Amino acid sequence: MGTESPKQRLYAQLARIAGAMASPQRLELVEILAQGERSVAALAEVVRLPIANVSHHLQVLRDVGLVIGHKQGLFVHYRLADPEVFDLHRKLATVGRQRLTEVDSIVQRYFEGRDGLEPVGRAELLRRVRDGSVIVLDVRPPEEYAAGHVPGAVSMPLESLEAGLIHLPKGKPVVAYCRGPYCVMAFEAVLRLRERGRDARRLEEGFPEWRAEGMPVAVGAGPAAGSSSPRVRPGRGGRTTSPEADKRRATRRKARARPQAKGPR
């Protein structure tokens, strides 16, 4: 019989989760999956790793219940098991910046130092979206936009920005956002827009943080960049999504997956 106390056994299991997160590659995979479900091949392309390596990292995350995988045709797709997984990722970044000087130095030098203007906060952006006083650009890949975006945002991936710029109304401020506070696509989009004389700023964080804070979310393919009046397409069934709805759906999925208790044999 083992001598470990229940508390020690508990902490041993929690340490498995900490160990699964103790990899820069796996932290990046969690960030990408916070945007929406992706195939292994698509994830490998984004993080620029061999498919075999990505599959291994995903299996580590799956073994501790942080991600869920399922086969769709010939491909295996993964998603975060629960919104709390991204909360854990986000809290790790927050504590890291507060407690590690090197983290704070990197953020200030390579991220905040790239932009001399204060970014737009979530509440301000929502107000300006509702009164129509701003153009919102989602510069992530189209599949991430379709999985969830800021209502009213126009999908304009960074590589399409030059061509799509001519369709944006002149004289109206632009706010760009991407995957999170350390995603360089929004910084690059703002730089290019300003070089062309546009009044451009970036969202303070990114889409996953927007959703995690309970802000309204739209899903599905959006309007083309050249649309004269962008139209928000709500989520499936005409609904927008929210962290609370995501958690309810996750709870239902867990209940369906939980094996039924068997009676005595």
Q: 1-10, 161-170, 200-209 — which is least confidently predicted? A: 1-10
Active site residue 183: no
| pLDDT average, residue stretch 138-166 | 94
Q: What is the pLDDT of residue 231?
A: 39
Cite the residue boundaries of each domain of the chain with CATH code 1.10.10.10.
6-86
In this prediction, residue 263 carries a pLDDT of 46
Domain 6-86: assigned CATH number: 1.10.10.10
Q: List phi, psi (to 5°) of 202.
A: -115, 155
Percent of the chain whose predicted confidence (pLDDT) is above 70: 83
Which residues are registered as beta bridge partners of 202? 176
CA distance 66 to 72: 19
| Rounded (5°) CA angle 192-195-197 | 115
Structural contact between residues 152 and 171, judged by C-beta atoms closer than 8 angstroms:
no
pLDDT at 242 > cutoff 70: no
Check residue 83 and give its pLDDT: 95
Catalytic residue among 175, 178, 189, 219: 178
Give the mean model confidence (pLDDT) for residues 134-151: 96
Write down the pLDDT at residue 245: 52
Which of 57, 3, 48 is CA-nearest to residue 30?
57
Q: Other CB atoms closer than 10 Å to residue 69's CB: what's the count?
A: 18
Residue 51 CA to residue 55 CA, distance in Å, equals 6
Residue 13 pLDDT level (bands cut at 50, 70, 90)? very high
Q: Tell me, what's the pLDDT at 252? A: 60
pLDDT, greater one: 162 or 63: 63
For residue 192, give the nearest of 156, 226, 222, 225 by alpha carbon. 156
Both tokens assigned to 243:
């962290």
Per-residue pLDDT, averaged over 229-257, amounts to: 48
Distance between CA atoms of 91 and 87, rounded to whole angstroms? 6
| Cα–Cα distance measured from residue 159 to residue 129, given in angstroms and rounded to the nearest whole number | 24
The answer on pLDDT for 8 being more than 90 is yes
Q: What is the pLDDT of residue 118?
A: 87
- Point out the least confidently predicted range of 22-26, 72-76, 220-224, 230-234: 230-234
User: 3-state DSSP: the chain helix, strand, coil percent, rounded to 5?
Assistant: 50, 15, 35
pTM attached to this predicted model? 0.80
Q: Right CATH number for 114-244 from 3.40.250.10, 2.40.110.10, 3.40.50.2300, 3.40.50.1110?
A: 3.40.250.10
d(CA 249, CA 47): 28
pLDDT-based confidence at residue 200 (cuts at 50, 70, 90): very high
- What are the pLDDT digits (tens) for 40-71? 999 999 999 999 999 999 999 999 999 999 99
Both tokens of residue 117? 């203007």
Between the alpha carbon of residue 202 and those of residues 58, 101, 134, 137, 160, the distances in Å are: 31, 25, 12, 9, 17
Q: Quick one: pLDDT at residue 233?
A: 37
Where in the chain is CATH 3.40.250.10?
114-244
Q: What is the pLDDT of residues 70-127, one digit of tens each?
A: 999 889 999 999 999 999 999 999 999 999 999 999 998 888 877 778 899 999 999 9
What are the structure tokens assigned to 50, written together? 């061999």
Dmax over CA atoms of the chain, in Å, equals: 76
